[in-house]
């Protein structure tokens, strides 16, 4: 079992190269099922979630392999619309493949997908969205979708779910009707999917707004498509919070992230300073312990992302004052706090909120990650705490960060991956 051994308390200095966005890459891999040709996803991270999605592509007849830093998917041999249960139970992103299979074959079958333990995440909103567009759904041990009579309708999502928005977009891409998705998620990763579907020959408009219109093209043929996804704003935000906790100065390379990112607001009037170049955050500098961050609510985009909520909580332990964090996306996403309490952190959880009393010295401890972003929170605490800490559950952290220990060493942290 692999663990991270961390000798903490060091300030961070240096440059960070940000990978392509995990939350863009995974739907693009799923969407490549629509393409009876080759898809090239540039600067694709070799994270474990990507590796599982590659296995799914191979299981249904396609090819998937890396050519240096680019992921190549050849969909010409895909001939199955039933997803393998053993793999779909490993990764929640497998549910995206349902829409792509409906688009290509008219049918799709999946078991309920797995993923991180961050509270209930049923796929009912995906089912509702596809039903609303005209698909028939049979629910049992497996969920079977029938879209052979075509998708042509309007659906209003009861919550702006990123996955349901993307699934509906894919399902409608290769049909002959017009589908309208209202109360759609606005995340920038959806724009990447829109670009890809349009490159295939579909007609998709409105990505990034609350209404997406898909005019399907049933004569989509195989094409060679190259796409470079946006930089991973969650990885960038994670490294920002590493710096907040440890102090120091990091510079993002060409994959820097837009200045409108939530961090601009959070760092304003605090000890954290950001420097912007060409509309992008280029440098984050922390010379002294920041103050408490006040009240932060994790909400759908463009609000503060739930995928950075655990890292914010951990970094708040090192701020001088109170921070209140509320999660309105995944209310039960505070299981990682139990592990942080081993470090003498002063955190209290109240339902979908927690209160952090920061500024108290933490102690090194051995903790265990039970999910991806909770694991990033434990690393945040460990690298900022004097002494030797151990973080287990590395397999969860590997789901979203490629070689995170190497990137941390490059900016001055003492982190080693050890097989116990």
- Give 397's contacts (C-beta < 8 A, 6+ positions apart): 4, 369, 372, 375, 376, 379, 391, 404
| Residue 161 in tokens | 């779910």
Which of the following is catalytic: 116, 272, 317, 354?
Answer: 116
What one-character DSSP code corresponds to residue 293? -
Residue 116 designated active-site: yes
CA dihedral 367, 296, 15, 187 (to 10 degrees): 110
Contact yes or no for 249/13 (Cβ under 8 A): yes
With CA atoms as reference, report the closest residue to 107 among 141, 156, 73, 142.
Answer: 142
Query: CA 82 from chain center: how many Å?
Result: 25
| Residue 128 in tokens | 């509702």
| Residue 79 in tokens | 């001939």
Residue 1 has a CB neighbour count (10 Å cut-off) of: 10
Strand 225-227 and strand 38-41: pairing?
parallel
Active site residues: 116
């Amino acid at each position: 079992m692999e663990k991270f051994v961390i000798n903490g308390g060091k300030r961070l200095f240096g440059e960070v190269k940000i990978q392509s966005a995990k939350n863009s890459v995974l739907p693009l891999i799923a969407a490549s099922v629509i393409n009876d040709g080759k898809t090239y996803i540039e600067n694709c991270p070799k994270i474990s979630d990507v590796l599982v999605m590659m296995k799914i592509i191979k299981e249904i007849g396609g090819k998937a392999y890396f050519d240096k830093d680019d992921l190549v998917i050849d969909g010409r041999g895909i001939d199955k619309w039933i997803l393998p249960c053993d793999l779909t139970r490993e990764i929640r992103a497998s549910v995206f493949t349902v829409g792509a299979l409906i688009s290509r074959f008219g049918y799709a079958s999946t078991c309920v997908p797995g993923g991180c333990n961050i509270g209930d995440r049923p796929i009912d909103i995906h089912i509702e969205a596809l039903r609303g567009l005209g698909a028939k759904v049979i629910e049992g041990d497996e969920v079977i979708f029938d879209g052979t009579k075509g998708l042509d309708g309007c659906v209003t999502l009861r919550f702006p779910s990123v996955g349901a928005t993307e699934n509906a977009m894919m399902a409608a891409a290769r049909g002959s009707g017009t589908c309208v998705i209202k109360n759609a998620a606005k995340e920038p990763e959806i724009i990447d999917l829109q670009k890809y579907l349009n490159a295939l020959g579909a007609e998709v408009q409105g990505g990034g707004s609350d209404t997406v219109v898909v005019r399907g093209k049933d004569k989509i043929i195989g094409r060679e498509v190259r796409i470079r996804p946006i930089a991973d704003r969650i990885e960038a935000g994670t490294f920002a919070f590493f710096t907040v906790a440890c102090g120091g100065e990091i510079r993002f390379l060409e994959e820097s992230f837009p200045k409108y990112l939530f961090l601009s607001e959070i760092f304003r009037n605090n000890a954290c300073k950001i420097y912007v170049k060409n509309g992008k955050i280029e440098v984050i500098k922390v010379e002294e312990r920041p103050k408490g961050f006040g009240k932060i609510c994790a909400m759908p985009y463009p609000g503060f992302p739930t995928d950075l909520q655990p890292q914010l909580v951990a970094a708040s332990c090192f701020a001088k004052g109170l921070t209140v964090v509320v999660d309105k996306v995944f209310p039960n996403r505070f299981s990682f706090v139990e592990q942080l309490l081993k470090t003498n952190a002063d955190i209290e959880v109240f339902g979908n909120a927690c209160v952090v009393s920061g500024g108290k010295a933490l102690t090194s401890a051995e903790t265990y990650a039970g999910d991806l972003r909770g694991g990033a929170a434990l690393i945040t605490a460990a690298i900022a705490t004097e002494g030797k800490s151990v973080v287990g559950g590395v397999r969860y952290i590997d789901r979203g960060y490629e070689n995170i220990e190497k990137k941390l060493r490059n900016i001055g942290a003492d982190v080693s991956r050890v097989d116990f």
